[in-house]
Copies of this chain bind each other. A is one copy, B any other.
Amino acid sequence: MKPVKVGVCGLGTVGSGTVNVLHRNAEEIARRTGRPIIVEQIGARRDNANCDTTGINVTRDIFDVVNNPEIDIVVELIGGYDIARELVMKAIENGKHVVTANKALIAVHGNEIFEAARAKGVVVAFEAAVAGGIPVIKGIREGLAANNISWLAGIINGTGNYIMTQMRDYGRDFDDVLKEAQALGYAEADPTFDVEGIDAAHKLTILASVAFGIPLQFDKAYTEGITKITPLDIVQADELGYIIKHLGIARRTQSGVELRVHPTLIPKSRLIANVHGVLNAVMVHGDAVGPTMYYGPGAGAEPTASSVVADIVDISRNISADYSDRVPPLAFAQDALDNNAEILSMDEVNTAYYLRIQAVDRPGVLARVATILSEKGISIEAIIQKEAKESELVPIILMTHQAKEKQMNEAIREIESLSDICGDVIRIRVESLDN
């Protein structure tokens, strides 16, 4: 059959990985696709020593690629919002299918991009945008198509999970581990996107839309980073049978959709609690299937390329098919997306809590704290009051049952205003991930 011709825009880590995988596995891929897939052109500002481009038409202007009439599929791997958006919209306008690994682009501009793609009858595929090499978009969109998906929870930022793992395994401080991660190249010079949860929120936004059939609404995601997690809280959690992970959580409730990224205590016995280092995993819970999990490398040149090329193969396998015969980008038919589903503000979310309080060692402190929680309708599951060392404050650890975040915020403000309490209340959310 006629070869499918691919144009790759961007020759950084993922771009070079994509070209290398397409070349190295060309025969295996053609056996699957039923036709060869050829890298027809590469658009990149500079060459990449990790990628042999001999015999490929390389241009310094990425727009040459989207305007090249020979090209069937444009692969956008330049990253960022603005030029990437322009490039993808132009590719669509020119009737080309698009594959992208750009989570920020899809999370922020996806609705507009998918509408344009539908109008032109082309595919925009983005498996590589979430959890690197793990085929979790496909898993949810097609593998779990029978289910009413109730929730999903994922470790979807490798840098953050690496830092949390190092902190736990070696009792190290956040800043200390971050510096080392930066020196080793695991974390960016500006680590904000990773450690503040923005990258995870981009991915979570995409996962939630595919799972629930709702438009992408990144601006409504709640995002809290890992910069305030201390070795002390990691140890306390461990003693209680929990591990702290930076999770993206999306849940469908009667009142709306929860969309939140924050550090979370999860029981050590959960399989996902054993996902360490730079690896990613996403749990997805459907009403028919129950709990499922998808695990693997969440970043890196070839793992991400694995998903980019899987999307290329998907498009190539039925390159001549009608648009109506293709899987819709967000899993649900585009005119069946639920535009009325409300994303809940964090105030409206129900979850359990771990609280750590520094109290002066005076009688009645615990009673005053317990009274405040009780008045807000928050019930306590466990209290651990540590022995005070001489002239030190007493740490009090509280585990609560589920409560509404708004009530908890009010309770925390009142607790912090008690004269017996010093400093801020440390609050980490707790999820059992069991049903």
Which A residues have a C-beta under 8 Å from some C-beta of B?
17, 21-22, 24-25, 28-34, 127, 133-135, 138-139, 142-148, 213, 271, 274-275, 286-297, 300, 302-303, 305-310, 312-314, 317-318, 320-322, 324-328, 331-333, 336
Apart from A271-B271, A291-B297, 14 more pairs, CB < 8 Å: A24-B148, A24-B287, A25-B148, A28-B213, A32-B336, A135-B292, A145-B314, A146-B309, A271-B295, A289-B307, A291-B296, A292-B295, A294-B294, A318-B325
**Nearest 4 A-B pairs (CB), nearest first?**
A135-B143, A146-B309, A292-B296, A318-B325
Residues of B with C-beta under 8 A to A25:
146-148, 287-288
A325 to B134, CA, bound (A): 24
A28 to B310, CA, bound (A): 26
Q: Which residue of B lies closest to A20 (CB)?
A: B288
A275 to B287, CA, bound (A): 21
Partner of A274, one of B271, B296, B327: B271
* A151, chain B: closest CB distance, angstroms: 14
Q: Is the CB of B306 within 8 A of A29?
A: no
A271 to B283, CA, bound (A): 14
Interface centre among A24, A28, A288, A331 (most CB of B within 10 A): A288
Residues of B with C-beta under 8 A to A327:
317
Q: Is the CB of B313 within 8 A of A289?
A: no
* A239, chain B: closest CB distance, angstroms: 21
Q: Is the CB of B274 within 8 A of A302?
A: no
